[in-house]
Each structure stands twice: as structure tokens, then as C-alpha cells.
Chains A and B, each alone.
Chain A
Amino acid sequence: MQTALQKAIELILSGDRELANILLVTARTCVSSSLISLLIGVPIGIWLGTGRFRGRQALVVIFRTLMGMPPVVCGLLMYMLFSGVGPFRRFKLLFTVTIMIIAQVVLITPLVIANLETYVSSVADTVRETARGLGFGRWKTLLLLSNECIYPIFSTYLLAFARSIAEVGAVSMVGGAIAWKTNVMTTAIMLYTNRGDFTLGIALGIILIAISLLVNIAVTVMQRRLSR
């Protein structure tokens, strides 16, 4: 463990170009996919949490089920859709960072929707009743409800980011873990471990956890400031 820690520090201090590339691809993939999932998932989560329409419960069950979709299954679906025989082959996205982001968005968005829906549905009726009692219309009620969601949105983002940064099945399947192109931290750890280079694998793992810790601290600080 001590060797791995030393190796991790050495890797960072040496300015290893391959490591820098892996970190860059990881950051691009994770930040993009978690933010896109948030942009798509938050409005749907609020809509589902406040909505009273036929089929709402069925949609909630579907999204909750999709939360547990195995990443390899998601990767396989994306592979089939974008491969040479798939309907989206003309986009030529297979083994690119873009398809890795798309796969992660598919994987993470249900998590964002289900998480937010749970919170919103727990407060929506009381917020709506209070707002209606004060004579506020639909838009002002929605504004008040959105204001209530700030804290849960941050928690949901952390969840989305954690799922994204720790994910390996989907990105390795559609990205192919190509060195200098689509290799992210998790696929790199797998690659080095398969080669028998456990120390480097553990070193990368430590760096991965450190990045996750930094992002968590940054988001928590923002969450606290905005929640005041």
C-alpha cells in the first residue's frame, strides 16, 4: 500500500503525459455526462414529482428500474445501436469519448430522475397547497418548488458524478479503452491490473478516490453556500 501511495505521488509529480491524458478524458467524460444527466433529469424529476396524470406511477417504476440497469447492458445496447450494423452507424461514434458520454447519460439520467422525483413528490402537495392559498399561479408555485429543490439537486449531482466516475462496464464496451483516446481512470486500472501491474492500478485507484473527494468537497461547499 505504501509503495502504491509512493507510486501515485510520483506519477502526479512526474507530470506523466499518459496519466494527464487519462485524467483529462476522465474529467471530460464524467463532468459532461453528469451535467447533461442533470439537465435532462431535473426537469423530468420535477415534472414527475408534481404531476398528476395517468401513467405517472408506471413512469416512476420504469425510471426506478432503469436505475439498476447494469452498465455492461447499457454498453452493449449502445454498442449494438452505434456499431457497423446498428441504426446509428452513420454517426461513427463507436470508440470515441462522445459515445462514452452518451452511454453514461443513459445510465445516470434515471438515477437523477428517480432521486429528484422522490424528494419533489414528498413536498409538492404542501408547497402547492400553501402557494395556492396565497393566491400564486402555476409559475410562481413552480418557482417556489424549484427553490426547494436546490439542496437535493446538489446531492443528486454528487450521486450522478459518483456513478459516472466509478463506472467501467459501459465506457470500456463503447470506448474500447484505447490509450491516448478513450482510456479513463477505471478502464486504465483494469488494463494495468490485467497486465499484472498492481502497484500502478492501486496508484490510479488512489488518484481516482482523491479526485472524487475533491469534487465532493467542492460541491458540498457550493451546496452549503447556496442553501443559506
Chain B
Amino acid sequence: MKLASCSKTYGRRTVLRCPALDFAPGRICALAGPNGSGKSTYARLAAGVLTPDGGGRVADETGVIRYMPQKSFPFRMSVEDNIRLFGGDEQRAEELMKALGLGGLRRQRARSLSGGETARMSLARVLMQPCDLLILDEPTAAMDMESAIAAEKLVDDYRKECGCAVLLVTHDLSQARRMADEALFFYQGELWESGAAETVLYRPEKEETRRFLEFYGGR
């Protein structure tokens, strides 16, 4: 899946400048970087939620993109209805709820869920349909370790089943190292480093990337 080069400016401040990127099918690409480096802005531009400077779209119109934002909205209905929005496949919903430990909460109102439960529900919701590019913005940030591991396995299975590319925005370096085949490192609104995950996440070339890695868990 090809994403065109893009930039995003608010007022006089350019918050992101990124060259064209290609996400290979069946591969997971981690997008790491400190706060304010433009990770979420890039995810939103790629998902078509934000319009880049100059208008148009960053992603190719023909590809199907699914995106789970950092603050995914729990709609005013039950957990099951949230997952099966507009009549989604019952069996698929069942599998996802079981895998994410949501079976016992299916009739509960989504608004009454905790942060971690809402994140699990949102992940199940975005994994209902197959796609070409799955964008997940900090999907496990609110989850406990057990749920996060279950979520990682589910995303991995999904990617294998539908052969989609996955763009995983994460602060969790150990998660990025566990899951990613490739990695991107954003710094001050620019793509600072990119390549194979074992290079970018273990032996980066740039000093800023090294400092980030040391701060978020060392080598």
C-alpha cells in the first residue's frame, strides 16, 4: 500500500513532513517517536481523517484502510452492538469477543466500560472487516499486560489471515520489538529513520533514535 508524501501545518507551525512510504502486505511496521513527533498526525493523515496541506488524500483511493484512533469512541449502545455496528458478522464478533475477554461484557453499555475494556472493544470493532492497511494508534496503551499480549496475538493473526499491512503507532518499545518487521522513527515532525525493525529498534544510526531507545527501555 503506497502512501504519498505529505505535510500538515496548523497556522504557521508545520507539525509533520513525511516522504512517500510503501507498506508491504502482511508486514507490521512500528511507528515510534517521542511526544509531539507527529506519529498520530501521520496516522490520521494516512487514515484520511485529516487532510494534508494542499488537500487530497495521502492513501491510494483503491485500498481499504481501517484505523483505530487513540481515543476511540464508545457509541451509546451495548458492547456487542458496538462491535457489530450496522450488522457485522455475528460469528466473527463472537471470536473477537472471546479472544479479547469481552464475552461477559457483551450486554453491558459500552459507556460503562473501563479504559482498558473500551480499548479492547475498539480493537475488536476495527478487526471485524478485512482491509489492506490497518492503522492502530497506541491500541494497548490502556490495557493491562495480559490483555495487551492477547491483543498483539489477535493483530498478528488478523494480519496473517487477510494479508494486510499494519502500521502500529506505539510508545511501547518492547511491543514494537515483539511485533514489528519494519520500523519508522519520527522526530520533531520528520521521518528521522526507517528500515528493518532489528536495525531501527536495536542499532539505530541517528543519535536521537538512540536516546529515545535508551529512555524507553535500553537495548
* Interface residue ranges, A against B (CB under 8 Å): 123, 126-130, 132-136, 140, 144, 147-148, 150-151, 227-228
Asked if B185 is at the interface (CB within 8 A of a chain A CB), the reply is: no
Residues of chain B contacted by A228 (CB below 8 angstroms): 109
Q: Which 3 A-B pairs have the closest CB atoms?
A: A133-B67, A130-B73, A126-B73
Asked if B76 is at the interface (CB within 8 A of a chain A CB), the reply is: yes
Minimal Cβ-Cβ distance residue in B for A228:
B109
CB distance A135 to B129 under 8 Å? yes
Q: Which of A127, A140, A227 lies in contact with B73, CB distance below 8 A?
A: A127
Complexed CA–CA distance, A65 and B85 (Å): 39
Complex interface bits, B163-177 against A, C-beta within 8 A gives 1, otherwise 0: 000000000000000
Asked if B86 is at the interface (CB within 8 A of a chain A CB), the reply is: yes
CB distance A134 to B76 under 8 Å? no
Please classify the interface of chain B as helix (H, G, I), strand (E, B), loop, or mixed, using the class held by over half of its residues. loop
CB distance B77 to A147 under 8 Å? yes
Q: Which of B44, B71, B76 lies in contact with A126, CB distance below 8 A?
A: B71
Residues of chain A contacted by B77 (CB below 8 angstroms): 147
Q: Known interface pairs A126-B71, A147-B75, A148-B76. Does A132 touch B85 (Cβ–Cβ under 8 Å)?
A: no
CB distance A134 to B66 under 8 Å? yes
Asked if B38 is at the interface (CB within 8 A of a chain A CB), the reply is: no
CB distance B75 to A133 under 8 Å? no
Complexed CA–CA distance, A130 and B73 (Å): 6
CB distance B86 to A136 under 8 Å? yes
A23 CB, min distance to chain B CBs, angstroms = 36
* Interface residue ranges, B against A (CB under 8 Å): 44, 47-49, 64-69, 71-73, 75-77, 85-86, 109, 122, 125-126, 129, 131, 135
CB distance A129 to B69 under 8 Å? yes
Residues of chain B contacted by A134 (CB below 8 angstroms): 66-67, 85, 125-126
Q: Known interface pairs A123-B73, A144-B75, A227-B76. Does A133 touch B86 (Cβ–Cβ under 8 Å)?
A: no
Complexed CA–CA distance, A55 and B214 (Å): 49
CB distance B126 to A132 under 8 Å? no
CB distance A130 to B72 under 8 Å? yes
Residues of chain B contacted by A227 (CB below 8 angstroms): 76
Residues of chain A contacted by B69 (CB below 8 angstroms): 126, 129-130, 133
Residues of chain B contacted by A135 (CB below 8 angstroms): 64-66, 129, 131
A50 CB, min distance to chain B CBs, angstroms = 14
Residues of chain A contacted by B71 (CB below 8 angstroms): 126, 129
CB distance B49 to A133 under 8 Å? yes
Residues of chain B contacted by A144 (CB below 8 angstroms): 75, 85
Complexed CA–CA distance, A140 and B75 (Å): 13
Minimal Cβ-Cβ distance residue in A for B128:
A134
Residues of chain A contacted by B126 (CB below 8 angstroms): 133-134
Residues of chain B contacted by A130 (CB below 8 angstroms): 69, 72-73, 75, 122
Minimal Cβ-Cβ distance residue in A for B136:
A133
Residues of chain B contacted by A140 (CB below 8 angstroms): 86
Q: Which of B75, B85, B131 lies in contact with A148, CB distance below 8 A?
A: B75
